[in-house]
Amino acid sequence: MVEKKSDSNLMKEVLSWVWTILLAFLIALFIRTYVFELVDVPTGSMLNTIQLDDKLVVIKFIYRFEPIKRGDIVVFKYPDNPSVNYVKRVIGVGGDIIDIKEGKLYINGVLQHEPYIKEPMVGNFGPYKVPKDHFFMMGDNRNDSSDSRYWAHKYVSKDAILGKVVFRIFPLSRLGSIK
């Protein structure tokens, strides 16, 4: 009789552990899918704002409560290959006309002050009219960035945006918010 009771207790203990592990897995899956995610930056297209190999926190639910704005740094599915995620800055929103003349960015005819870019931009691009519910993206390292200027599908749809980059967690020497 004692053996059966201990076998029963052992089975309850094992089931308790399985249930706890399963619940933890489901909570982690929910958080990663809907709340936030950590991403690595493998390229220098966002220098000097984001460095190579930075680890960033991406808030996924934020755009349920606020609109996507010019200047936001976002993670999105690359329009020419949706299996790849990119990190870029939102430059234009639906309805904007983006024009780059002699390396200077104009949005709706207004020259933009961009203190975050790595170096002065080179070239002429556009004009581009951003469709409704779409966005024009550029890296801060303008002269070394694969961005909306060069893609076959120039604009990122709202549905392709995975979240907003808000915080750098690694390396610790640069820990802090991203702007």
Residues 6+ apart with CB under 8 A from 50: 41, 56, 73, 87, 140, 165, 168, 178
Catalytic residue among 60, 88, 118, 154: 88
d(CA 46, CA 140): 5
d(CA 170, CA 91): 26
Q: Take residue 51 and report the two structure tokens written for it.
A: 């460095």
179 is an active site residue: no
Residue holding tokens 């800055």?
Answer: 89
Q: Containing H/E element for 27? A: helix 2-34
Residue holding tokens 């690359």?
Answer: 78
Contact 89, 46 (CB under 8 A): yes
Catalytic residue among 4, 8, 12, 45: 45
118 is an active site residue: no
Which of the residues are catalytic? 45, 88
